[in-house]
């Protein structure tokens, strides 16, 4: 039996010697490479925290002493050490989640896949411990240097510093990267901590120098006093943390279990807030990841474990089309600039950055700042394109509303991974954007259905200079091109079936393909229909309302929240126009969805063409036998 197989709970680690721990660390890395290469998942971050996580669990008594991971994708090792060693269905329905999950284990505190929040969680837990008289319990937050670029982390540090009698240990996992290399002033600060001799060593050098020079006592004292003041900020930039009132320990080799244990034990014994600064290497122990400069191994699909190469090469995807088109736009318009929040390559801005390095701004994990900075750029005469994952726009919603829309700023938001993404679970499905953005006055939102419409709608979006525009598209490979058979005003007509059109089927974005299936299925049942893609779905186009008046029933299909989504917007617009055509809306239910594949979620929530056509046919039948069909919003099923 391997050492890893003997570990069923963290307490089992405390029986191992240092040589045995080294063997265990290698076994864990071998396990991660073998398992994640079969299923996909976050590989590089977890390979980098093996020894760090071992040390944390040897010093702290989880789950009594809470350990919060930020961001939670670095918690695979934690899962292995807390009894979850079946990774055969990692991030698949019924298998282990890609993030901490309370449903899986008492050792998990928060499903923390939106970065920079762990310190606030730890602050709250430590305050509760204090009020409940549990002063002996420490709280540990493991946060990467990338997550420390988020403003929320610094808001938390400001409050943590006040709790001098609260045992709260912050482990900074410093590998110089978030998804990509960490940027900004904090990155330079941590660089200095990595490369500069410690304050005490430099001060000792100063003392010896003064003694050898024969400097008189009073002069030497004054010189040392001045040296301390100067060195504190220049040579010992840990003063940034200690100036807040947070004890600093480090830098520590995060791949040395014994050194990490010593540092963590000292931090725990201190009894107040302490930062332990651990230097680690992302992808440690796996040659393809160690030699990679593009962070391809941050998150991987199914790969060959020996080489790290994909088993099945990725098809040309949505992100690649955006990457090409934004470069073409940038060549024609010097006022177009790009912003992102620590996701330069994943959102497709790397080619733009290569060609226009002075016109791209990676602000770190700080979506709120990105949005308001873009508003300032627009005010000063530029047209910013802010590229984010759809799920992360949630964090900048107030800024979209109050800084961009209120001031009619010409800012374009490009939302990647919109709709059902599935594998990463509840917090990563990009299902909130349309329902949220529908409430923003003046905002226009487009949802392309294929490559051609993505390119065209991006060009249309950046042409708007007096209001926010949004372009949203899903994760993954592009579908087949879906050309229009006609156009009514701004609305693309995708198909017409039957002599008398009874049903108007409205497909939003990639769901236009499903809408075409619905129209064909209705035609097979002798029900006439018109299938359309509004292209720009918010606000509801007046041409779409005109089409709706020509039909007995409107069916909308979207991969966003059905509550307050596009279907609701269509119904409200029809009601406001005095039109009583009933609307049946199909979309994602008002709930958090467990991790599963996109196809499984589509089937579970009855968003296949056949499911929607069946309900539409029933509604048409009801219309023939009743005066009215009551319009309702509901996720099919």
Q: Which residues are known catalytic residues?
A: 282, 367, 395
**What does R_g of the chain's alpha carbons equal in angstroms?**
28
Residues pairing with 171 in the sheet: 142, 276
Angle at 274 between CA 173 and CA 24, to 5 degrees: 45
286 marked as part of a ligand binding site: yes
411 to 364, 381, 390, 539: CA distances (angstroms):
19, 11, 16, 17
**DSSP H/E element including 372:** helix 367-379
Check whether 175 is labelled as a binding-site residue: yes
Q: Does 255 carry a binding-site annotation?
A: no
Q: How far apart are CA 394 and CA 41, in angstroms?
A: 23
493 phi and psi angles, rounded to 5 deg: -95, 120
CA distances from residue 214 to 207, 209, 231 in whole angstroms, order as listed: 11, 9, 22
Q: Is 115 annotated as a binding residue?
A: yes
Residue 158 assigned ligand-binding role:
no
Query: Six-digit token pair at 493?
Result: 């007509």
The Cα 447–Cα 458 span in angstroms is 10
Interatomic CA distance for residues 402 and 383, integer angstroms? 18
Nearest Cα residue to 437 out of 475, 474, 399, 463: 399
Residue 334 marked in a binding site: no
**452 in a known ligand binding site:** no
In 250-384, which ranges are continuous DSSP H helix? 257-270, 287-290, 318-332, 350-355, 367-379
The count of other CB atoms within 10 Å of the CB of residue 68 is 25
Tokens of 53: 């996580």
Tell whether 147 is in a known binding site: yes
| Phi, psi (deg, nearest 5) at residue 497 | -130, 140
Q: Which tokens is 315 given?
A: 């098809």
Are 524 and 610 in contact by the 8 Å Cβ rule? The answer is no
Residue 146 known to bind ligand? yes
Q: What distance in Å separates the CA atoms of residue 468 and residue 386, rounded to the nearest whole number?
A: 11
Burial class (CB in 10 A: 0-12, 13-18, 19+), 108: buried
Is 290 one of the annotated binding-site residues? no
Q: How far is 385 from 121, CA to CA, in rounded Å?
A: 32
Do you find a cis peptide bond into 251, omega within 30 degrees of 0?
Answer: yes
Binding site residue list: 73, 113-115, 145-147, 175, 286, 367
- Which positions make up the binding site for thiamine diphosphate? 73, 113-115, 146-147, 175, 286, 367
């Amino acid at each position: 039996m391997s050492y890893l197989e003997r570990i069923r709970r963290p307490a089992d680690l405390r029986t191992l010697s240092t040589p045995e721990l080294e063997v265990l660390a290698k076994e864990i890395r071998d396990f991660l490479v073998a398992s994640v290469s079969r299923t996909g998942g976050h590989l590089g971050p977890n390979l980098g925290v093996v020894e760090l996580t071992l040390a944390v669990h040897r010093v702290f008594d989880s789950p009594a002493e809470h350990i919060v991971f930020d961001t939670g994708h670095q918690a695979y090792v934690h899962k292995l050490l807390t009894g979850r060693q079946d990774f055969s269905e990692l991030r698949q329905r019924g298998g282990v989640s890609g993030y901490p999950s309370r449903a899986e284990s008492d050792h998990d505190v928060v499903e923390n896949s939106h970065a920079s929040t762990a310190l606030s969680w730890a602050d709250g837990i430590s305050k509760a411990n204090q009020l409940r008289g549990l002063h002996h319990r420490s709280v540990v937050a493991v946060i990467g240097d990338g997550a420390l670029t988020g403003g929320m982390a610094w808001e938390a540090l400001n409050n943590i510093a006040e709790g001098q009698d609260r045992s709260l240990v912050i482990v900074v996992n410093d590998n110089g990267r978030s998804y990509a290399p960490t940027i900004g002033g904090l990155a330079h600060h941590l660089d200095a901590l990595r490369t500069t001799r410690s304050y005490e060593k430099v001060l000792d050098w100063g003392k010896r120098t003064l003694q050898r020079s024969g400097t008189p006592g009073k002069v030497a004292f004054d010189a040392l006093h001045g040296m301390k003041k100067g060195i504190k900020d220049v040579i010992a930039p840990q003063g940034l943390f200690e100036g807040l009132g947070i004890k600093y320990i480090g830098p520590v080799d995060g791949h040395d279990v014994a050194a990490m244990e010593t540092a963590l034990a000292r931090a725990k014994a201190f009894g107040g807030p302490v930062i332990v600064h651990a230097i680690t290497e992302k992808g440690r122990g796996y040659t393809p990841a160690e030699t990679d400069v593009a962070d391809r191994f941050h998150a991987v699909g199914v790969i060959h474990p020996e080489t790290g190469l994909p088993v099945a090469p990725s098809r040309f995807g949505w992100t690649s089309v955006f990457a090409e088109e934004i470069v073409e736009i940038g060549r024609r318009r010097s006022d177009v600039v790009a912003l992102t929040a620590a996701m330069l390559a994943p959102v497709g801005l790397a080619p733009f950055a290569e060609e226009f390095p002075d016109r791209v701004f990676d602000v770190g994990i700080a979506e709120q700042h990105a949005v308001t900075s873009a508003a300032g750029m627009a005010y000063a005469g530029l047209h910013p394109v802010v590229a984010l994952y759809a799920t992360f726009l949630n964090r900048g919603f107030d800024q979209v509303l109050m800084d961009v829309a209120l001031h009619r700023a010409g800012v374009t938001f490009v939302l990647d991974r919109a709709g059902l993404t599935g594998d990463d679970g509840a917090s990563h499905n990009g299902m909130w954007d349309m329902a949220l953005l529908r409430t923003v006055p003046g905002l226009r939102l487009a949802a392309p259905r294929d490559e051609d419409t993505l390119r065209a709608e991006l060009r249309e979006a950046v042409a708007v200079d007096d209001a926010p525009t949004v372009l949203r598209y899903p994760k993954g490979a592009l579908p087949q091109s879906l050309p229009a058979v006609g156009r009514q005003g701004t609305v693309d007509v995708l198909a017409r079936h039957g002599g008398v059109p009874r049903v108007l089927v409205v497909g939003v974005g990639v769901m236009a393909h499903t809408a075409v299936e619905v129209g064909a299925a209705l035609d097979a049942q002798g029900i006439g229909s018109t299938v359309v893609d509004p292209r720009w779905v918010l606000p509801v186009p007046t041409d779409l309302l005109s089409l709706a008046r020509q039909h007995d029933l409107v069916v909308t299909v979207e991969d966003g929240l059905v509550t307050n989504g596009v279907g609701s917007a269509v119904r409200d617009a029809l009601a406001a126009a005095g039109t009583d055509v009933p609307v049946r809306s199909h979309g994602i239910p008002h709930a958090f969805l467990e991790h599963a594949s996109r196809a499984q979620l589509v089937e579970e929530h009855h968003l296949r063409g056949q499911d929607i056509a069946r309900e539409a046919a029933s509604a048409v039948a009801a219309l023939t036998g009743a005066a009215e069909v009551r319009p309702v919003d509901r996720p099919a099923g």
